[in-house]
Structure 1
Amino acid sequence: MSHANNPEILKRLRRAAGHLASVVAMVEDGRDCLAITQQMQAVIKALEMTKRTLIHHHIDEHLGHVAGNAAGPLPAEARALVAEIKEISKYL
């Protein structure tokens, strides 16, 4: 599945866009700094989660697909390695 067709990625991006629109409106309305920074943190978190979802999707779709096609379904050792790579990616 293409990243463009992944409903989870699109949902997360739309959520981040909504948060960002709220931040812009809050700044335009002259809201207080604390409220704005809290909303900005929500934007940052939403983007970080989207990035993680995108990277995991890429790993699953491409690395898992290539390794699986080479010799049938992925053996347990290869699945464990893919899971480890996904876990490491949270530090990006």
Structure 2
Amino acid sequence: MTKQHVHESHGQIVKRLKRAEGHLRRVIEMFDDGRSCLDLAQQLHAVEKAISEAKRTLIHDHVDNCLDVAANGGSKPAKTVLAEFKAISRYL
């Protein structure tokens, strides 16, 4: 059994990702409709930006909550906290 790990921001992140998912489906339809490459590139950029923002929110929330708690009196050793920060910061 995995430990459930939920933050307040997770609901908003999921909403953002669901919007991006719907947007991506519409972009695929645009390909089927033969829309221009410029239109397609613009819409793909918007989907990419939405997903990127969801990822950034998740990482910032993790740093603000999990790592801050761990670094300021949590049960994790400082080396572990630093290693976790380095690992997650690669995704920024």
TM-fit CA distance, 1:53: 0.5
Aligned 1:5-84 pairs, distance under 5 A: 6-68=10-72, 70=73
TM-fit CA distance, 1:26: 0.4
Q: Structure 1, unaligned stretches of length 5 or more?
A: 72-84
User: 2-side partners of 1:65 and 1:2: how far apart?
Assistant: 15
Q: Displaced runs of 4+ in structure 1, greater than 3 A?
A: none
TM-fit CA distance, 1:4: 9.3
User: 1-side partners of 2:68 and 2:40: how far apart?
Assistant: 41
TM-fit CA distance, 1:46: 0.4
RMSD: 2.5
TM-score for both structures, normalised by structure 2: 0.66
TM-fit CA distance, 1:67: 2.9
Task: Tell whether the 8 Å contact from 2:23 to 2:47 is kept in structure 1 after alignment.
Answer: yes
User: 2-side partners of 1:5 and 1:34: how far apart?
Assistant: 34
TM-score for both structures, normalised by structure 1: 0.66
Aligned residues: 74
Q: Structure 2, unaligned stretches of length 5 or more?
A: 75-84
Richer in helix (by share):
1
